[in-house]
Amino acid sequence: MAGRKKSTDANVVAGAGGAAAKPARGRAARRAGEKSTPREKPANVAAMHDSKEVRQREHRARVEEIGHREVYELGDPTLRIHVGDCREVLSKLPEFRRSEVDLVFADPPFNWSRAYDKWDDSMPREDYLKFTREWLDVCVDALRPTGAIWVNIPDDTCAEIVMHLKSRNLAMVNWCIWHYRFGQNTTDRFINSKVHALYFCKGGKRTWNPREVLEMSDRAAIYADPRTQNKADGMPPGMRVPMDVWYGQYWGRIQGNNAERRANHDNQLPEVYLERVIRACSNEGDLVVDPFTGSGTTPVVAHALKRRFIGSEFSVDNARSALARIKAGPVRIGAAIGASTAIFEHRIKDKRRGRAGMFGVDDAAPATP
């Protein structure tokens, strides 16, 4: 075969004319009384296998390094952040064994080779999918019959998560989109500017508080439409339940000198996002869980809204930083409640400007982008 290295075995015997004879293999070797040697793995396969084993050893070493004993706690309401792999530390908790969780919000690692301190964010694809199914199952099993789970995930693994949650007999309530204007620039395809916000429940009755998260309708914000003053759906005048694509002021990616930004976190969610989820899908005193505490957005909002909280975080440093953030309190609680997210400027004619005051609309100001 072309490219095969020439043998340098001293047992190779020169044949007629001085040419080196090939060593006997397979059946020929058995006929010649030689022992057949096992075929070696191709170099690329062996390298892949070795690389996977190295990653697994490193991962186990990281887990052993941080241990599973550290817990960071606050009171009034109770809050705990457990250090370790969420699949292990959460499944052992009594609240999980008794299925007492009211709301799960998960923003897992995307497997994009990002710097998550000690977490391996470059798993082989099948390992990552296995990991995903395992932490999902831990959370699903812990939900109350009225509980809900939200998963923040990009395109790569969105479909797999939807199919797995459906296979667990959960019902999809909404497939929302978190839209932001500053996606990572590229020229060889369309720029990504969204993440999926998947909302599932166990079916039947669920906690749902739409009046807690209302926003101004476009008809009210742009046109001061008098029909919005008498709404048949029972909502307050000029207000509506938010649409399933989320954007607007304070909804962008947390970067640069944003007041919410935490050091060493480049994938931080805005507080208004978590405020909407927690207000709509839980009540005061309910138990909220985040298996990937990260920068602490979920617990800082949950704690401020008087929900109990349990989280897990693989990194000791991240857990400590999150606790410090919770103690300091949120930055934007209530900032987006009731606001307009209209993408056009107000189009109120002069004769209708007097009506605009009924809606609290400043017709001279541009709409929220």
- Does residue 61 have a pLDDT over 80? no
Pairing of strands 239-240, 215-216: antiparallel
To the nearest whole number, what is the mean pLDDT of the chain? 80
**116 in Cβ contact with 108 (< 8 Å):** no
Q: Is residue 109 reached through a cis peptide bond, with omega within 30 degrees of 0 on the bond before it?
A: no
Report which of 8, 14, 16, 12 is spatially closest to residue 34, judged by C-alpha positions: 12
Name the CATH code of domain 70-328 (choices 3.40.50.300, 3.90.1150.10, 3.40.50.150, 3.90.600.10). 3.40.50.150
Continuous segment of H or E residues that includes residue 178: strand 171-179
Sheet containing 287-290, strands listed edge to edge, beginning at the edge strand earlier in sequence: 71-74, 79-83, 308-313, 287-290, 101-106, 143-153, 194-201, 171-179, 245-246
Q: What pLDDT, on the 0 to 100 scale, is given for residue 142?
A: 98
3-class secondary structure, 182: coil
Per the model's pLDDT, the better-predicted residue between 7 and 171 turns out to be 171
Q: According to the model, what pLDDT value does residue 209 have?
A: 97
Name which residue leads in pLDDT, 274 or 223.
274
For the chain, the domains span: 70-328
**pTM of the full predicted structure?**
0.74
Strand pairing class (239-240; 143-153)? unpaired
Number of H helices, E strands in the chain: 11, 11
Structure tokens at 332: 């934007």
User: Which residues are within 8 A (CB) of 48 and not within 5 positions of it... i.e. 6 or more apart?
Assistant: none
Using an 8 Å Cβ cutoff, are 295 and 265 in contact? Answer: yes
